[in-house]
Every structure is written in structure tokens, then in C-alpha cells.
A and B are shown apart, each in its own frame.
Chain A
Amino acid sequence: MQRSFFARNPSALVFISILAITVLLVTIFSDAFGVGPISTSFVKTLGKTLCLCLVALAMDLVWGYCGILSLGHFAFFGLGGYMIGMWLMYRRTHDIVVASMAESALPPTPQDITDAIANQIFGVVGSADFPLIWYFADSLFLQLALVVLVPGLLALVFGWLAFRSRVAGVYLSILTQAMTLALSLYLFQNDSGLRGNNGLSGLQNLPGLDQVPQSVVSVWFLWGSALALALGYLLAAWLVSGKFGSVMRGIRDNEARVRFLGYSVETFKLVVFTLTACIAGIAGALYYPQAGIVNPAEIAPIASVYLAVWVAIGGRGRLYGAVIGAAFVSLVSSWFTGGQAPDVPLGFYTIKWVDWWLIVLGLSFVLVTLFAPKGIGGLVDLWVHRKSPDRHGADLGPSAGALREQEASE
């Protein structure tokens, strides 16, 4: 019965192979290292897509496996972006300031430099002082730690409060959404210390690597994102394949029963919620340097709703489903909203996809939920001939006696 990890998770091997081949092909055809038909901006889009796949994976763990419909995971994603963004922006501004001050007659004191950096960064919000939360901004190591710690801590405190009071189902979703909205509104304020609605910008420029062209940086980030996604996939596969996965799915299907088996449901939920928040933070920290800018609009509740839509369309409760959903929907989405999709003239009206795409997305979400609850990932079942019992929504319940329904037999 003891089988190897990959025997228990055939999808992991397939997934990592496909990921590796894709990354290799993109690298070969990229501007930086190869023949060059793939533009730098498209490499960045692909790299960002991989990060979205990673956060979708986290969403699938928390929602598809554990049954917690969190509408806050994009907030954790955004926070991860802010944390790395603080270092990127501080460090780069520091370099610029030092370079410009080098020409002045008097050598600048450290205080002068700090003041000048603060002036540069916070001038747009009418401030010239570093807020306390930028205390560690000088240290890459500490900011990297905060990428995991800040979302993790927020999830831990929030989850502890919510799960301990047995808030579940739609109420928990509303609560997580409220948290997201509150965070986003707070960050919109100029005195939040994170530049209000301007957000943090210029993140695509890595400090000290000015001479490296963006085409190369984009490929680096593609590799980094792919590595993070692969590791995330392995971690997720390991989590869901063992008894932990059994308990998670048990909690999703019947929380009370798991409790009566002696498992502390609240603790399990809290661990999954916090862990996935950390994964979301890492994904965000890889995403925003590729996007170049992070602002509070990214954290708006709608983003977390999108996340749920991706996972639903891709097929929740299976890891590759989440990845397929995020990749497919976000790529198609950027094609439609990027103005590349041709307009459809109907004579009396012209369908502009930029306006109509959201309606198409919403409609496909409804249709998938109603008619194909397994999502795109369900197509794999057709291929490998996996069947699940179709009970026509009915129990093999007491009223029907002990007769087994037709489909219950093999």
C-alpha cells in the first residue's frame, strides 16, 4: 500500500513537466536569451500568470479542499506585494538620492540621505517623514520575511477570531470580504504610510541592477515564479494526499462529523487559512515586481472574487484545476480587455470586448457552476475515465429502505 509520492500524485509529475517545458520554450523564444519572437511584455504577462496560478492554488486549498470560501486571499497577495515593494522602492530611491548627492559640495550625512529618500517617496502624499512601518525597508532579508509574516499574522488573528466563534459558510465569506474592503480603504488613505492611492511604483527596476535590461529581468522573474509555483504545487499535493487532506476534505463535507471524530476542526481550519495566506503573500511578492506597481485598488474585494471565479471555472477540489482556471481565465481576460480581441459589428450595435468581457466572464461562471461543477479540470476525468457516483442529488436514504440505487452498484 505504501506508494511513492509521485505514484500517489500523478498530476504533480505531469504538471511540473509541462511547467518546465513551457518555461524552457518561453526562455528560448524570449527577447533576452533566444531568437526573440516573444516580447518582454508577454514574458512578464506569463510570469505574472504563474503567480496568479500560485495564489489560485492557495485558494483551492482553502476553498476547494477545506470548504472555506475566503474572499480575502487577494488581500494577502497584495500585502505580499507591498512588503517587497517597500524594499524595492526604498533601495532604488536610496541609490538615486546617493548618486545625485554625490555631486554636492558637502558630503551628505546619513540623516540628509534618509530625509531626501523620504521626500522622494512621500512627496506625492504631502509628507517627508518615514512612517514606522518602513522601519525595516532597508533590509531585503527582513522585508522578505515580512512577505510571509504580515499576511500570515493577519490571517492568523482574523482566522482565530472567526473560526473560534464558529463563523462558517457565507457569513465567513462576508467577513473575509469586509476585512479585504477595510484593508483596501485603509491603504487608500494618504496617511496609511504606503502612499495612498499612488501605491508603490517603479517596482520593475531592481536596485543595483540598472544595467540589466528588462528583457532579462523578466525571464528571471519567470523562472522564479515557475519555481515558486512548482514548489507550491508539490507542497499542496503533499498536504492533500495524506491524512491531512482526508481531514480537510472531511471538514469541507461534514464539519460536525470531523469534530466528533476528535479532530479540532478550528485548529485545522486556522492552519490551512494561515498557510494559504502565506503562500498568497509569496505569490504577490513575485507578481508585483513584474507588474511594476502595487496600489490599493489591487486589494479591492473584486480581486478576491475573481480568484474564486478562476478556481471555480478551473475546477475546485483538484490542484491542477485551480492552475488551469487561473492561467486560462487570466490570459483570456487580458486578451479581451487588452483591446486585442476584434470587435464584433452587429450592424445596429458593435460588441466591444473591453466592455462586454466581464459579462461573458460572469455568464461563464454561472454556467460552469450550474452545468459543469467540476470545471475545466473535469475534462481530465473524461480522459482518464474516472467516474463519480451520480446519485441524482438523492441520498440512498432511509426512506428508500436498504435497496441500493442502480448507480450505487459497480
Chain B
Amino acid sequence: MSTLLEVSGVSVSFDGFRAISNLSFRIAKTELRAVIGPNGAGKTTFMDIVTGKTRADEGRISWGDEGTSLRGLSEARIARMGIGRKFQKPTVFEDQTVQENLLMALKNKRGVFGVLFYRPSDRDLDRVAEWAGEIGLADHLLRKSGELSHGQKQWLEIGMLLAQDPRLLLIDEPAAGMTPQEREKTTDILVKAARTRAVVVVEHDMDFVRRLNCKVTVLHEGSVLAEGSLDHVTANQAVVDVYLGR
């Protein structure tokens, strides 16, 4: 399997606090990966670095077959290169309909004039309807997304990410605040998405991670502590000490 994203030797400090230290991480083109770790392990900072929100102090972040460096690129640029990100709190545009949200996310021209003269084609509307079906919101296309339930908003955001058609999806705690049925559905969506692209899920909830049934990376104090199947990492004494055995 060829590598899509390779992070090597990356470090970041905030006012002397080393949030990420010498982190190395790679993910293949089609892979589902769970990232776990105690609070302050650097999970969110890791996402910030990859998506360009935070600048790395040192290290290398290379992307795709050409190994393009992502360091120093703007968030928007990185997003256009094919990295989508979902935040912990569902952040959909509440004042706009589900359809408008999805149309905005749909892979299309992102420049000012491209957007200005954009009129949704039938094909685009079909695609939006398709994604809405995928995330169970087909009947809610014209509702304002602010009216949706918490779980529905989470899905809408995942749907927006998928509509972006990214090659790498970074997802922060997708199952937070969901009912068991909603979690199951979320698992299905993610597993299905990971068949055609790379998906990295940051999650606290061990049951959810178990259900994802994928390779797990344990972060601790800003670097990788262990990597492997969930059973493998949970058997690791160091992991038990810092995280599971609390």
C-alpha cells in the first residue's frame, strides 16, 4: 500500500509547552485509522498541523505521490488538495439549508469568480441528493440545518466532508453525544468511506474504536506510543499505564 500522508519528526511548542514532539505518522491511500490518547496527548494539535491551522516548528509533512510538502500552505489550499476535516462540535452553517450546506461543500470551483457565476447543475443537485441519502437526510434537504438534531448535524458535517471528495478525512470525535443507533450508523458511514480514501478518526470512546475494527495509533505527550490492532495496543503495558489503566 502506498503512502498518502507522511508526517515525520514534527514538533510544535506553544509558549514552551511541547504539544507535539518528534511525531512520525503515516497513512496509506485507503485506510481507516483510529487515533486515541489521553487528554493533552496532542490529537487535536496533530489535526491542526496537518490541516494548516497550526504551523509546525520542525519536521516534514509530505502529501501524495509527489511528496508535496504541506508545511506553510494555507488551510484553504490544503483543503483543496484533498484533506477534509470534521471538528469535535458539529459545525454546520445553521442559518442555511441542508442543501445549501452540501452544495457549498460539493467539489467544485472554489475561486471567487467560479463561486460567483456558479449555478447548480442538475448533476450537482443529484449528487447532493445522493449524499443526503447516504447520511439519512434525504427528506430534510430544504430544512435549515439549525433545526436538525445533534446527531443529524454530525452526519451532515460528515456528508459535507464526503461531498468535498477528499483523499484524506480527519474526524474529531464523531460519536460524541450520539445514541447507540446513531453510533452504529456513523460507524457504517466511516467504514464505507474508508474503502476509497484514507480516514483518520480521533476518538475517546473505546467501544466505538473497537467497532471501527481498524489499526489504532496511541498518542502520548505529543508522540506515538504504540501502533497496531486495538487488542495489540491495549496489551501494551506502556499504553495501559498512561491511558487505559487510569
Name A residues whose Cβ lies closer than 8 Å to a Cβ of B: 1-2, 239, 242-244, 246-247, 249-250, 253-254, 256-257, 259-265, 267-268, 271, 388-389, 391, 395-404, 408, 410
Contacts and interface: CB of A to CB of B under 8 A. Distances in A.
A408 B147 contact: yes
B189 interface: no
Contacts of B95: 249, 253
B74 interface: yes
A402 B178 contact: yes
B72 interface: no
A401 B179 contact: yes
A61 to B, nearest CB: 13
A260 B48 CA distance: 11
Given A265-B76, A400-B150, A1 B144 contact: no
A264 B74 contact: yes
B16 interface: no
B105 A396 contact: no
B115 A263 contact: yes
Contacts of A403: 149-150
Interface of B: 51, 53, 74-77, 79-80, 84-85, 87, 89, 91, 93-96, 100, 103-105, 110-112, 115-116, 118-120, 122, 125, 143-144, 146-151, 153, 160, 164, 176-179, 182
A396 B90 CA distance: 10
A262 B177 contact: no
Nearest to B84: A260
A2 B125 CA distance: 10
A98 B235 CA distance: 99
A265 B87 CA distance: 18
Given A239-B116, A253-B95, 20 more contacts: A2-B122, A242-B118, A244-B115, A244-B116, A244-B118, A246-B93, A254-B93, A256-B91, A257-B91, A259-B76, A261-B79, A262-B79, A263-B110, A267-B112, A401-B150, A402-B151, A403-B150, A404-B148, A404-B149, A408-B148
B26 to A, nearest CB: 22
Given A243-B104, A244-B116, A402 B74 contact: no
Nearest to B163: A261
Contacts of A2: 119-120, 122
B176 to A, nearest CB: 4
A250 B95 CA distance: 9
A262 to B, nearest CB: 4
Contacts of B53: 256
B177 A398 contact: yes
A396 B149 contact: yes
A397 B75 contact: no
Nearest to B121: A2
Contact of A260 (B79, B89, B122, B149): B79
Contacts of B104: 243, 246-247, 250, 261
A389 B147 contact: yes
Nearest to B91: A257
Contacts of A260: 51, 75-76, 79, 84-85
B96 A246 contact: yes
Contacts of B116: 239, 242, 244
B132 to A, nearest CB: 13
A399 B100 contact: no
Nearest to B140: A410
Given A242-B118, A404-B149, A254 B91 contact: yes
A257 B145 CA distance: 15
A402 B79 contact: no
A271 B116 CA distance: 11
B147 A243 contact: no
A399 B178 CA distance: 10
Contact of A243 (B118, B153, B176, B182): B118
A402 B182 contact: yes
Contacts of B160: 261
A398 B89 contact: yes
Contacts of B112: 244, 264, 267-268, 271
Contacts of A404: 148-150
A403 B152 CA distance: 11
A208 to B, nearest CB: 40
A259 B75 contact: yes
Given A260-B75, A265-B76, A1 B103 contact: no
B79 A397 contact: no
Given A260-B79, A401-B177, A389 B125 contact: no
Given A2-B119, A397-B150, A408-B147, A246 B110 contact: no
Contact of B105 (A256, A261, A398): A261
A259 B164 CA distance: 13
A271 B114 CA distance: 13
Given A246-B96, A253-B94, A410 B79 contact: no
A363 B155 CA distance: 43
A66 B178 CA distance: 32
19 contacts: A243-B120, A246-B100, A246-B103, A253-B93, A259-B76, A260-B51, A260-B75, A260-B76, A260-B85, A261-B79, A261-B110, A261-B164, A262-B80, A389-B144, A396-B148, A397-B89, A397-B177, A402-B150, A404-B148
A267 B75 CA distance: 13
Contacts of B144: 388-389
Contacts of B75: 256, 259-260
A408 B153 CA distance: 12
Nearest to A1: B125
B179 A249 contact: no
A78 to B, nearest CB: 27
Highest count of chain B CB atoms <10 Å: which of A242, A243, A261 = A261
Highest count of chain A CB atoms <10 Å: which of B105, B115, B182 = B115
Highest count of chain A CB atoms <10 Å: which of B51, B91, B112, B125 = B112
B146 A391 contact: yes
